[in-house]
Structure 1
């Protein structure tokens, strides 16, 4: 199995939305219009994994940020002009590709991009029992949160954990 990782394009949004609906509980499914806004705000840090037979089978939407900033569920991307970090807002893998390492490939791609940009960390919110996956990628949970960070974390359905990785 070989997937190709490339920049997300506007025409990928319907396929990205389908992957999202396979990966997330309904309370966390975000509208296609939000994906379009995010892609427009951060086109260099939104990627898809494409399989020759399945087409777009996974995606990662991220944006330049500052360490410690947590994005609320459903919020627009506001890339930092003085970024020191890449915020991995949304990683999803379609059900047909579960367990095949596609998510790890997308994370490694994002790490390489962040490193080339000179950023020192990656950060994200782990949801839906994915904390172990992120820990295997060397992310650690950050528990000392400001009231603003805790409030943003509460917008996610179910247990949510703010995690960071030093590059």
Structure 2
């Protein structure tokens, strides 16, 4: 069995992140390097990668997460900034789980739950108590196992425009983060 290392993501990981992304998503869900770099810059403590130490320059999985105002959703493939921070009270923020992908070489090794656990601990340490995500590619059942449930219909309806960019089967999901 391969021994994977989980560590915080750094900017130099982005080319390898893009390679994993291309192996996991169709064209409509692919995001550019500048969009992903902005998510990393927004919250480096909650973005993680997994790699096999012997395989320099390649990644087996990645996870982008960040704080975000609860009353909105970040745009797919949009460059984010933190200008909203000056107007957002801490109790109005949610931990947004933006993107997790596991390359074919990393599948079956438990990398997704490992990445999620370390990022969730960092988010909780930062004071975030609620989480939201958009499940794509029929991943909603997997996220349910981690405690997520579909958002109420009226909440999803408020975000219909941004949700549409994620595809017809996208599901807005949320949960609380217990201590």
User: Fold-level match, TM-score > 0.5?
Assistant: yes
Partner of 1:96: 105
State how far apart, in whole Å, the 2-side matches of 1:149 and 1:36 are: 24
Q: Secondary structure at the match of 1:35?
A: helix
By how many angstroms is 1:146 displaced?
A: 5.9
- RMSD value over aligned CA atoms? 1.8
Check conservation: 1:70, 1:125, Cα contact below 8 A: no
Structure number with greater Rg is 2
Does the alignment pair 1:140 with 2:149? yes
Does the alignment pair 1:86 with 2:95? yes
By how many angstroms is 1:4 displaced?
A: 2.0
Check conservation: 1:140, 1:163, Cα contact below 8 A: yes
Check conservation: 2:68, 2:74, Cα contact below 8 A: no
By how many angstroms is 1:37 displaced?
A: 2.6
Does the alignment pair 1:157 with 2:167? yes
State how far apart, in whole Å, the 2-side matches of 1:110 and 1:27 are: 26
Which residue of 71, 75, 83 maps to 2:78?
Answer: 75
Relative to structure 2, which stretch is displaced further, 144-153 or 77-86? Answer: 77-86
By how many angstroms is 1:147 displaced?
A: 4.8
Matched residue pairs, number? Answer: 167
Which residue of 84, 104, 119 maps to 1:110?
Answer: 119
The structure whose residues are more often strand, as a share, is 1
Partner deviation per Cα, 1:108-133 (whole Å, 9 max, x = no partner): 11211122122111111000110111
Partner of 2:37: 36
Question: Which runs of no fewer than 5 residues in structure 2 stay unpaired?
Answer: none
Question: Which runs of no fewer than 5 residues in structure 1 stay unpaired?
Answer: none
Does the alignment pair 1:64 with 2:67? yes
